[in-house]
């Protein structure tokens, strides 16, 4: 399947999903990320908290960023691939069953990264930061500070030996 002018950048994400499990114990968490290891706190942050003076939820922040790509001029079939993206990403995403309750969040995040890359390439700070978190074994779950200033917050599972 061809995902448009930035197909190689989308394929890079899909190839990563083919060869790696998501939500693995972290090593080398980027300094630009606020890391937490409490899954309950991460879910609270992702689903119930509001961030900064503008009181945006984590969902609001992601949706606002994605809206730009969704409203971009259609370069071929990219906008028609959204449903296919979901199926492809959902079939490739693998993670420990302890995290089944956030499966849709994870799939949506990866889908949004792929969609952004298909439309714009790898130019967006938020989606590229989110991809880096997934590559490092985490789950982006919130924001610290006023959007867009501040830092991405991510849950990184403790190692199984802890």
Which pLDDT score, from 0 to 100, does residue 78 have?
Answer: 64
Kindly state the average pLDDT of the residues 99-113.
89
Model pTM?
0.87
53 or 105: which leads in pLDDT:
105
Residue 125, CA distances (Å) to 1, 97, 103 in order: 26, 30, 23
Q: What is the pLDDT of residues 25-71, one digit of tens each?
A: 666 788 889 999 999 999 999 999 998 888 999 999 999 888 887 77
Q: What is the pLDDT of residues 122-142, one digit of tens each?
A: 876 899 999 999 999 899 999
Which pLDDT score, from 0 to 100, does residue 86 have?
Answer: 74
Which pLDDT score, from 0 to 100, does residue 141 have?
Answer: 97
Q: What is the pLDDT of residues 73-87, one digit of tens each?
A: 665 556 666 667 777
Kindly state the average pLDDT of the residues 78-105.
77
- Domain locations along the chain: 6-155
- CA distance linking residue 10 with residue 14, whole number of Å: 6
- CA distance linking residue 59 with residue 46, whole number of Å: 7
Q: Are 150 and 50 in contact (CB under 8 A)?
A: no
Average per-residue pLDDT in the chain? 85
pLDDT band at 21 (very low <50, low <70, confident <90, very high): confident
Which pLDDT score, from 0 to 100, does residue 161 have?
Answer: 60
């Amino acid at each position: 399947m061809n995902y448009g002018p930035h197909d190689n950048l989308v394929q890079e994400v899909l190839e990563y999903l083919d060869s790696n499990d998501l939500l693995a114990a972290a090593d080398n968490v980027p300094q630009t990320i606020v890391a937490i290891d409490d899954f309950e706190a991460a879910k609270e942050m992702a689903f119930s908290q509001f961030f900064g003076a503008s009181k945006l939820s984590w969902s609001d922040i992601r949706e606002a960023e994605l809206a730009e790509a969704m409203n971009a001029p259609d370069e071929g079939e990219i906008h028609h691939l959204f449903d296919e993206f979901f199926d492809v990403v959902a079939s490739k995403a693998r993670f420990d069953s302890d995290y089944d309750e956030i499966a849709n969040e994870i799939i949506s995040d990866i889908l949004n990264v792929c969609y952004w890359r298909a439309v714009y390439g790898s130019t967006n700070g938020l989606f590229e930061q989110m991809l880096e978190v997934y590559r490092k074994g985490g789950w982006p779950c919130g924001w610290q500070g006023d959007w867009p200033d501040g830092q991405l917050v991510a849950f990184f599972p403790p190692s199984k030996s802890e």
